[in-house]
Structure 1
Amino acid sequence: MDKNQLLTKLWEQYIEITPSALKIHELLEEKGEEILNDHIAIRTFNDKRVNIEVLEKAFINVGYEAKGEYYFETKKLYAKHYENALDKNAPRIFISELELEKCSAELQEKVQQLLDNCDQNVFNDPNLVLSGAVWKGNSQAVYKSLLEESEYAAWMYVYGFRANHFTINTNALKGFKTLEELNNFLEASGWELNASGGKIKGTPEQLLEQSSTLADLYDVDFEEGTLKVPSCYYEFALRYPMSNGELYQGFVASSADKIFESTDVKLQKTI
């Protein structure tokens, strides 16, 4: 699988459970915009079978290289971002993992059981990043138990290995000079934005501004019945030039921390 096939498959899986992203994408195209992706985000656990080192292989195989690393102490996350050495226009890849050893014994045990009960051969699949939930994640009780401690873990339980969000490169848009202009257009079009930490996270001084929609609510069939669970969201990023005139390529941990909350049940008006 080459780079374009991998990225296309990630997009197809993403819009399947995030129809709002496709609608926003099409809405902007109708205004004459050509949509470029700033970055694609992936979630995982730091278990050696599925950690960042495992998931990054799919991207390294198609020309990506590790660049920056980030820590989110409150959410107990570690992340790395990757850039494609062969194609400067390719979206960055952002992979985060839940640091299980910092979580409760109960959460660690649940994740361990999930992974132990899988066919272990599935973790050797070079395209694991496209595999979704390879475990049996159909218990509403387990979902809600994980949710009490970690929204991130609960999301992983339901959705597994897939793109958590895509991000529009706002710099490449012709009709919007600022992120605020884009946000205003989206809200006027009926989309609700993540207001945690402000609708715009980051500042020009930090060289990166970010905003995002709230995650779609997707009907998940648990053994106890169907429940609407936040799936994925669409992000928007505006980058500023560094002192050398080149656009900043990294991420701001404090901003990403709030962007993560776009899938948080607590931000949703209807569950």
Structure 2
Amino acid sequence: MITNDFSPLARVLDTLFTPYKTRVPDVEKVTAAMIARGIINNENEIVNDHIAFRTLGVPNLGIASFEKIFLHYGYEKKDYYFFEGKKLNAYWYAPPSDAYPRIFLSELRVQDLSQKSRNIIHEYTKHITSDPVDALDLNDVQAVGDFFYRPLWQLPTISDYNSLAEESEYAAWVIHNRYYLNHYTISVHEFSEEFNTVEKFNIFLESEGISLNTSGGKIKTSPDGLLKQSSTIAKMVEAAFFGGQKMEIAGSYVEFAERLVLPEFRHLEPSSIERKHRRDGFESANADKIFESTYSEQTKGGK
């Protein structure tokens, strides 16, 4: 979290986080448990490693559109990732300073889906004939904040949602949730020694009744061993669909990351270690399994 920061970027991030926190009960549950255990005194002590968004790779939308917001606020585009099985592209973006979280943007490779799924997505997005971000005043913090929650297409029918979910649960999530914040990430290595690894923090989370994503194991570890991640399972939330129908679908979730110190900096005293001394970036194999925090194989056991 960012304490006493009233910069335009901090205000944009706050407009994102406030509705997300309201809709994702595990955010408050984890924070309250951390305060009760003395891990933190208040939520402003939490260091947000990164936030993530999902998009559709269709004309005028997707990463090419969405990234304009964060590039405007000083983010730098970094590495590309390809998720063949899930049919996704992704990039991560480095913040203008260490006070802000990294950004992870992914998009569905709609052209790789079946004709049936492509047709469904096209029906919802065909009226978007220009990039909606281009119509935004990116210096207007309120307008930018509102954009994340502004419907760009009509609510899907339950039938279309279920049809997409059969082929791509990512597609179904986005067709309903749109640009909703998918998750934020707590940096566990910032805590005291009792809780400063993902292993230790997971034990704490499960002792508080928090269900963890087990896809690929509860802890996802990069091949170099320097990035470890875990995440909660998205809670099922009642969602409105076209025609006033309602159905429970997966909402958003919370992630936890441990970035270990790079070998060349392990001689440093703990008090001297900064973000630049730790493993940066992301790992496609880790992210591939984290995506499944909203997938039915996980959520059906984590309601």
Q: TM-score, normalized by length of structure 1?
A: 0.93
1:177 shift after superposition? 2.8
1:211 aligns to what?
230
Match runs of 1:107-118 below 5 Å: 107-117=117-127
Whole-angstrom distance in 2 between the partners of 1:207 and 1:133: 39
* 2:191 matches 1:173: yes
* 2:84 matches 1:104: no
Larger radius of gyration: 2
Q: 1:193 aligns with which of 191, 212, 215?
A: 212
Whole-angstrom distance in 2 between the partners of 1:165 and 1:110: 26
1:178 shift after superposition? 1.7
**Cα distance, 1:37–1:255 mapped onto 2, change above 3 Å:** same
How many residues in Structure 1 have an aligned counterpart in Structure 2? Answer: 270
Whole-angstrom distance in 2 between the partners of 1:129 and 1:210: 29
- Higher mean C-alpha displacement, 1-10 vs 95-104: 1-10
Show CA shifts across 1:19-47 (max 9, x none).
22122123213324221100000100111
- Higher mean C-alpha displacement, 121-130 vs 210-219: 121-130
Letter in 1 for 2:87: K
* 2:20 matches 1:14: yes
2:245 aligns to what?
225
2:99 aligns to what?
89
SS at match of 2:289: helix
Show CA shifts across 1:39-84 (max 9, x none).
0001001113112121111111111111111111100101000111
1:4 aligns to what?
10
1:202 aligns to what?
221
Show CA shifts across 1:103-153 (max 9, x none).
111111111111124585745343386135421124110100000000000
**Cα distance, 1:110–1:123 mapped onto 2, change above 3 Å:** farther
Show CA shifts across 1:209-261 (max 9, x none).
00000001110122363211001010000011223322111111011000000
SS at match of 1:258: helix
SS at match of 2:152: coil
Match runs of 1:111-190 below 5 Å: 111-117=121-127, 122-126=132-136, 127=144, 130-174=148-192, 175-190=194-209
Q: 1:243 aligns with which of 250, 253, 263?
A: 263
Whole-angstrom distance in 1 between the partners of 2:222 and 2:80: 20
Whole-angstrom distance in 2 between the partners of 1:131 and 1:94: 18
Q: TM-score, normalized by length of structure 2?
A: 0.83
**Cα distance, 1:204–1:150 mapped onto 2, change above 3 Å:** closer
1:187 shift after superposition? 0.6
Whole-angstrom distance in 2 between the partners of 1:13 and 1:143: 23
**Cα distance, 1:160–1:257 mapped onto 2, change above 3 Å:** same
2:286 aligns to what?
255
- Higher mean C-alpha displacement, 174-183 vs 221-230: 221-230
Whole-angstrom distance in 2 between the partners of 1:160 and 1:182: 31
CA contact (8 A) 1:36 1:168 kept: yes
User: Which runs of no fewer than 5 residues in structure 1 stay unpaired?
Assistant: none
CA contact (8 A) 1:210 1:238 kept: yes
CA contact (8 A) 2:124 2:154 kept: yes
User: Which runs of no fewer than 5 residues in structure 2 stay unpaired?
Assistant: 1-6, 137-143, 266-276
SS at match of 2:264: coil
